[in-house]
Amino acid sequence: MESQIEKSSVLKKNQKGQSFLEFIFVFLTMISLSMLFIRGVNGLVSKRWEVMVKLIAHPNQNEVQLP
């Protein structure tokens, strides 16, 4: 039978590992949300610039093509 001290030390080690895993999962979640936000905002900004360039170049006879 294990003593109370041995059980306590095993539980503390498990809690340290759990804290590390929770940190990793929270960190990965934040990175994923940041990447999704950046992609979404980037797409909206690029579409807005494309519309503005076409409005400015509208009097031109040639079609404006952006790369």
pLDDT digits (tens, 9 = 90+) for 32-53: 999 999 988 888 888 888 888 8
Q: Model pTM? A: 0.51
Q: Which two tokens stand for residue 4?
A: 């109370």
Question: CA–CA distance from 28 to each of 14, 23, 31 (Å)?
Answer: 21, 9, 5
Return mean pLDDT, the chain.
Answer: 79
CB 66 within 8 A of CB 53: yes
* CA atoms of 25 and 33, how far apart (whole Å): 12
Identify the H or E element spanning 34: helix 4-56
